[in-house]
């Protein structure tokens, strides 16, 4: 080959070499970009993703696996290590770690069966319970040979706890329904073609004691309704189809007890995408209704007694009014008779030439007569029942302005005795020891 041909050949090879270098650089850049994208996708995935070799050592792990199970700072630090390494590291740091201890060795099972499989693995990670829904499959090379295992795991701890709580709640509800004694619960399915034809899904055993109803009976066979209650029950039933609610009281014949019993049923219709159901509860309220009826009867009796008492009270008021009118008429008659039949003769006696003693007796007679017709006398006699007749006489004379000596002369007693009566009167009136004029006080109570 000539020198020019050789140079030309060298230039051609250099051109091809530069092209190959650029192509290789581009492929490497594309590979790096794909690797970064793959890593970014894996690290942003909420599920845990990993790959292991045939010795169960990690070839790849995403961020979720590092943060939530292996407790490792970076995915790169996971490569070449196995699960036991990270478990021992956690325990060495004083953490409670039991994840995978009681689970079956799923890696070995997948390698033995060489097919994709699903497992549930659980345990403690740093003292917190963790449950994973794990999918594992063989990792194959280009020739189809198995070189490891690829897997992903989803945290289902909350879902498992929710399912557990739901199952416990259902079990509690079932137990409540089956052991109920004072009430009975039922569930009926609505026929979409014939809505009023209800199918019994469940009725608690207590319904037999409460209403004589059993699980095997159709709804139309449940009750024999009291004739007077049928119309209202029919109306409530029709209204319930519109409102999707039923709340009604009626009487049924209890076949076991052979007697009419009051029943209260509350039910609600729940519509689903395909079927609708009626959930309800029934109570025997016979005792309450009897108590209510007895209370109503007692109320009617009390109302009747109240009316009778009102009539008696009205009659008493009429009698009292008549008594007051008669008393007033009698007082007016007495006053008139004293004024017209007695006083004229007293006045004549005063001018008939009586001696001193006779005049004194006449004054006493006139004073006592005034006492009889005086409002003060009546007030002292009735309001102050402790007054003696002599005390009333002394009080009347004090009110008339007579002195102790005059009172003593008119009553034929000593002045000291009159003072004793005055003292007793002040004591009975509650003014003993007070600077109150007795005559003034007697005027004030008239």
Q: Among all chains, which residue has been given the structure tokens 């052991």?
A: 179
Total residues found in the chain within this entry: 446
Spatial distance between the Cα atoms of 66 and 76, rounded to a whole number of angstroms: 10
Q: Among all chains, which residue has been given the structure tokens 């416990």?
A: 168
Tokens found for residue 67? 């943060």
82 and 57 Cβ atoms separated by less than 8 Å: yes
CA dihedral 229, 231, 232, 237 (to 10 degrees): 110
Tokens found for residue 389? 């007749």
* Mean pLDDT for the stretch of residues 175-198: 73
Quickly state the pLDDT bin for 399 (edges 50, 70, 90).
Answer: confident
Tokens found for residue 255? 């076949």
- Give the burial class of 48: count Cβ atoms within 10 A of its Cβ; 0-12 exposed, 13-18 middle, 19 or more buried: buried
The helix-helix angle for 356-373 and 375-382 (nearest 10°) equals: 70
pLDDT at 114: 93
pLDDT at 195: 61
146 and 114 Cβ atoms separated by less than 8 Å: yes
Spatial distance between the Cα atoms of 199 and 191, rounded to a whole number of angstroms: 7
Q: Which residues pair with 50 in a beta bridge?
A: 61, 151
pLDDT at 385: 46
pLDDT at 382 over 60: no
Spatial distance between the Cα atoms of 144 and 140, rounded to a whole number of angstroms: 5
Could you write out the DSSP letters of every residue in 257-269? TTEEEEEEEEEEE
103-157 tens-digit pLDDT: 678 999 999 999 999 999 999 999 999 999 999 999 999 899 999 999 999 999 9
User: 145 or 325: which carries more pLDDT confidence?
Assistant: 145
Q: Which residues pair with 271 in a beta bridge?
A: 276
* Mean pLDDT for the stretch of residues 306-316: 84
């Amino acid at each position: 080959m000539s020198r020019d041909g050789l140079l030309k050949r060298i230039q051609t090879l250099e051109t091809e070499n530069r092209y190959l270098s650029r192509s290789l650089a581009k492929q490497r850049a594309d590979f790096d970009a794909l690797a970064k994208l793959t890593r970014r996708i894996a690290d942003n995935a909420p599920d845990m993703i990993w790959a292991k070799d045939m010795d169960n050592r990690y070839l790849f792990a995403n961020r979720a696996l590092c943060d939530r199970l292996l407790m490792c700072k970076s995915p790169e630090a996971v490569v070449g290590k196995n699960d036991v390494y990270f478990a021992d590291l956690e325990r060495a740091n004083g953490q409670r770690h039991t994840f995978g201890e009681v689970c079956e060795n799923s890696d070995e099972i997948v390698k033995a069966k060489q097919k994709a499989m699903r497992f549930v693995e659980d345990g403690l990670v740093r003292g917190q319970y963790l449950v994973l829904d794990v999918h594992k499959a063989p990792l194959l090379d280009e020739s189809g040979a198995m070189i490891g295992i690829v897997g992903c795991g989803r945290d289902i701890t909350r879902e498992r706890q929710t399912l557990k709580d739901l199952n416990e709640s259902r079990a509690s509800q079932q137990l409540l329904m089956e052991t109920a004694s004072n009430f009975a619960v039922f569930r009926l399915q609505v026929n979409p073609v014939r809505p009023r034809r209800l199918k019994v899904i469940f009725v608690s055993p207590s319904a037999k004691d409460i209403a004589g109803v059993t699980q095997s009976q159709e709804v139309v066979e449940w009750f024999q309704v009291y004739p007077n209650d049928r119309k209202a029950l029919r109306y409530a039933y029709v209204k319930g189809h519109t409102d999707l609610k039923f709340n009604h009281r009626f009487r049924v014949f209890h076949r076991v007890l052979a007697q009419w019993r009051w029943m209260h049923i509350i039910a609600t219709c729940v519509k689903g995408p395909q079927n609708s159901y009626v959930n309800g509860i029934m109570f025997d309220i016979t005792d309450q209704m009897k108590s209510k009826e007895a209370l109503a009867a007692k109320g009617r009796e009390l109302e009747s007694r109240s009316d009778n008492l009102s009539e008696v009270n009205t009659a008493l008021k009429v009698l009292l009014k008549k008594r007051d009118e008669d008393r007033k008429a009698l007082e007016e008659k007495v006053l008139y008779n004293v004024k017209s039949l007695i006083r004229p003769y007293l006045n004549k006696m005063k001018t008939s030439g009586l001696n001193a003693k006779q005049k004194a007796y006449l004054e006493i007679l006139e004073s006592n007569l005034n006492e009889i017709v005086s409002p003060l006398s009546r007030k002292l006699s009735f309001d102050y029942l402790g007054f003696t007749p002599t005390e009333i006489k002394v009080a009347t004379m004090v009110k008339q302005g007579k002195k102790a000596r005059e009172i003593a002369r008119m009553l034929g007693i000593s002045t000291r005795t009159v003072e004793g009566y005055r003292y007793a009167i002040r004591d009975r009136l509650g003014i003993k020891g007070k600077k109150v004029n007795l005559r003034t006080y007697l005027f004030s109570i008239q």
